[in-house]
């Protein structure tokens, strides 16, 4: 069986270094916001070309803290509208709701799966104060056009980069990262980070992640507890130096899929430039998605669906269930994610291509 994602195999080369790091953390006896967190924050900021990295508990918290930080700074206020892709993972929308902002769902571009700039502009109102851009599946959204729209209407731009580790970004908007184990840069548990060049926002988020306290037991704000775990930071410090190598292997597999899968029943993902995609996922479309998935399973190829139910059709958002978002719905009915990871062998890639071409 070709696993969709073999996390044991992905992490196996790091096991010795992980054990060493665990011992170092145990020996130091400092488990919250210690040297490993500081080292990762500095290293990841440098890797991404940003001034500040604030390690937090997970990717959802990273988004929540960005918006909460802007509210505390007076840049946003409760009730402001934030434009967000309709076909994103639900966490993007939950983050907006958790700080009493109003998500406005916008259709994606059918080819790239990313939010459509044309549809963004149609949804801008006097209440619109920001755009949450999601680089879905690891592909850079159309940032040139989105930045133009943001400038034209004086809108904040926040980037959900939970699937985009190692992507070359445009601009210096605050970015939220998740290091969930299955990500291109994955920890061994939940972990996240905020990156920003804004000194005020960085200082605010550092306080908010730690109960709203800069000095212990002195709470200037009603913050939350969302601190990057010292041990997870240690594991991330081990893996970060290999991120670009692993992303390039993903690109190599994606290049082969795109060139060698030839089946008129399959719509391959659009990618204008490989450097604009880190292929967290390689997502195809087909009208007979369930049939294809079962066929692949019978031939020992594991696949997943990202995502089977669009946010506006989820029970959690019952007030939106009657919304019509046909492009989003079409995508969720047709997408299927093929195996892609830095530890896939050429033989495994050959097999996936051969089986799909025989479908």
**pLDDT for 216:** 86
**pLDDT for 243:** 98
**pLDDT for 127:** 98
Fold of 243-357: 3.90.1150
Confidence of residue 205 (pLDDT cuts 50, 70, 90): very high
Phi, psi of 105 (to 5 degrees): -80, 130
Q: How many Cα atoms occupy the beta-carbon half-sphere of 248 within 13 Å?
A: 4
d(CA 354, CA 348) in angstroms, rounded, equals 10
Residues 273-277, mean pLDDT to the nearest whole number: 93
d(CA 303, CA 341) in angstroms, rounded, equals 12
pLDDT digits (tens, 9 = 90+) for 42-86: 999 999 999 999 999 999 999 999 999 999 999 999 999 999 999
User: pTM of whole model > 0.95?
Assistant: yes
> Is residue 24 predicted with pLDDT exceeding 90?
yes
Residues 251-274, mean pLDDT to the nearest whole number: 96
**pLDDT for 286:** 97
> Is residue 272 predicted with pLDDT exceeding 90?
no
**pLDDT for 301:** 98
Cis? peptide before 79, omega within 30° of 0: no
Confidence of residue 19 (pLDDT cuts 50, 70, 90): very high
| Cβ-based neighbours of 306, under 8 Å, separated by 6 or more | 89, 137, 281, 283, 335, 337
d(CA 287, CA 99) in angstroms, rounded, equals 38
pLDDT digits (tens, 9 = 90+) for 97-144: 999 999 999 999 999 999 999 999 999 999 999 999 999 999 999 999
For residues 210 and 227, is the Cβ–Cβ distance under 8 A?
yes
| Cβ-based neighbours of 342, under 8 Å, separated by 6 or more | 10, 245, 246, 247, 249, 250
> Considering only 208-217, 278-287, 288-297, which range has the smallest mean pLDDT?
208-217
**pLDDT for 10:** 98
Tell me if residue 183 is catalytic: yes
Please report, rounded to a whole number, the percentage of residues in the chain having pLDDT higher than 70. 100
* Residue ranges of domains in the chain: 7-240, 243-357
Q: Which of 77, 183, 203, 313 is catalytic?
A: 183
**pLDDT for 214:** 87
Fold of 7-240: 3.40.640
> Is residue 306 predicted with pLDDT exceeding 90?
yes
d(CA 330, CA 268) in angstroms, rounded, equals 15
**Residue tagged 């029943």 (tokens):** 265
Look at residues 91, 42, 101 and name the one whose alpha carbon lies nearest to residue 70: 101
List the beta bridge partners of residue 52: 196
> Is residue 234 predicted with pLDDT exceeding 90?
yes
Look at residues 251, 307, 267 and name the one whose alpha carbon lies nearest to residue 85: 307
**pLDDT for 203:** 98
**pLDDT for 351:** 98
d(CA 44, CA 201) in angstroms, rounded, equals 17
> Considering only 106-120, 138-152, 206-220, 289-303, which range has the smallest mean pLDDT?
206-220
Q: Is 284 exposed, middle or buried (0-12, 13-18, 19+ CB in 10 A)?
A: buried
Q: Is 262 exposed, middle or buried (0-12, 13-18, 19+ CB in 10 A)?
A: exposed
Confidence of residue 215 (pLDDT cuts 50, 70, 90): confident
Residues 220-234, mean pLDDT to the nearest whole number: 97
For residues 110 and 331, is the Cβ–Cβ distance under 8 A?
yes
d(CA 260, CA 257) in angstroms, rounded, equals 5
CA 78 → CA 75, 123, 206, distances in Å? Answer: 10, 19, 21
């Amino acid at each position: 069986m070709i696993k969709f994602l073999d996390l044991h195999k992905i992490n196996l080369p790091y096991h010795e270094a992980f054990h060493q790091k665990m011992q170092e953390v145990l020996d130091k006896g400092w488990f919250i916001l210690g040297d490993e967190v500081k080292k990762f924050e500095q290293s990841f900021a440098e890797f991404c070309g940003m001034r500040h990295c604030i390690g937090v508990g997970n990717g959802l918290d990273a988004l929540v803290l960005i918006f909460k930080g802007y509210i505390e700074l007076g840049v946003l206020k409760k009730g402001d509208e934030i434009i967000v892709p309709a076909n994103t993972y639900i966490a993007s929308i939950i983050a907006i709701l958790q700080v009493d902002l109003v998500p406005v769902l916008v259709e994606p571009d059918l080819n790239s799966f990313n939010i459509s700039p044309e549809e963004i502009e149609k949804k801008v109102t006097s209440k619109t104060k920001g755009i949450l851009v999601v680089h879905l599946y690891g592909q850079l959204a159309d940032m040139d056009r989105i930045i133009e729209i943001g400038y034209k209407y004086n809108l904040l731009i926040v980037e959900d980069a939970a699937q985009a580790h190692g992507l070359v970004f445009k601009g210096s908007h605050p970015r939220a990262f998740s290091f969930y184990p299955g990500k291109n840069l994955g920890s061994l548990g939940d972990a996240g980070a905020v990156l920003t060049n804004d000194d005020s926002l960085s200082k605010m988020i550092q306080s908010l992640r730690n109960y709203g306290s800069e000095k212990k037991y002195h709470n200037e704000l009603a913050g939350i507890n969302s601190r990057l775990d010292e041990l997870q930071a240690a594991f991330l410090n081990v893996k970060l130096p290999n991120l670009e190598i692993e992303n390039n292997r993903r690109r190599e597999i994606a290049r082969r899929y795109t060139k060698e899968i030839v089946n008129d029943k399959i719509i391959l993902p659009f990618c204008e430039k490989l450097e604009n995609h880190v292929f967290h996922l390689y997502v195809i479309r087909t009208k007979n998605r369930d049939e294809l998935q079962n066929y692949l399973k019978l031939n020992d190829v594991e696949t997943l669906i990202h995502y089977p139910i669009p946010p506006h059709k989820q029970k959690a958002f019952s007030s939106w269930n009657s919304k019509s978002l046909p492009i989003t719905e079409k995508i969720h009915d047709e997408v299927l994610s093929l195996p892609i990871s830095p530890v896939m062998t050429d033989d495994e890639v050959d097999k996936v291509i051969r089986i799909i071409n025989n479908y």
